Amino acid sequence: MSTSLTAQDFFQQVQDGSALLLDVSPAHAYSKAHPAGSYNVPFHRRGWGQEIKRALNGQTPPLGVFADNTVIAEAAKESLTAAGLSVPFTFDRGVKGWDQEGLPVESVKDLTVDELARNLDNYVVVDVREPYELRSGIVPGAINIPIGQLQGRASELDRSKPHAIICASGNRSASAASWLSQQGLEVANVVGGMSLWMGGRHPVERV
């Protein structure tokens, strides 16, 4: 796919904090391997670009789209540009192509809800959902840090302990876990999030 920037050029912007790379793969694929510094926002057809725009909360950084095929990459770019966002970079060759460019690839440790329930005392659970989402309940003892506040509040987390990151379905938590791992914390992404936690009839606290 033609693009106005090389992968190396755009990755440097990501490292500098002046651009965002959006990995549009499903959460399970993102957990296995993804570009370092990317955020997982699985693509879907209806209103996806507008969702990203709302999540950016008025910020307008240059965006890159990372996918494993041209059709999805183009569709994601079109959705973002239709929402008025700038997308100067797209990459459609997946993790293998990214690695071939000599750029770093990361993975996130997955944790099932059953594994978390059996080992709850061994983890600090960080719930990255928004406060209004907590009405349905939280994992007992969980700390709530909405994903948009994570960079500003990461210093609140105890680096000597492992952390289990959870959200509603596992998408936001995968991105949060990846970022926290880059900061040197030991983290795992809770697969399926609170949907599977509650579906498995594990205990919840009301807030």
The CA dihedral of 72, 64, 8, 19, to the nearest 10 degrees, is: -170
**Continuous segment of H or E residues that includes residue 182:** helix 171-182
Q: How many CA atoms lie within 13 A of 92 on its CB side?
A: 13
User: Is the torsion defined by CA of 90, 178, 108, 29 positive or negative?
Assistant: negative
DSSP-derived 3-state class of residue 149: helix
The verdict on whether 124 is a catalytic residue reads no
Which residues does 28 contact at the CB level (< 8 Å), separation at least 6?
Answer: 191
Q: Check 167, 187, 190, 194 and give the catalytic one.
A: 167
DSSP 43-63: --SSSHHHHHHHHHTT----E
Both structure tokens of 88: 């100067």
Give catalytic residues, as residue numbers: 167
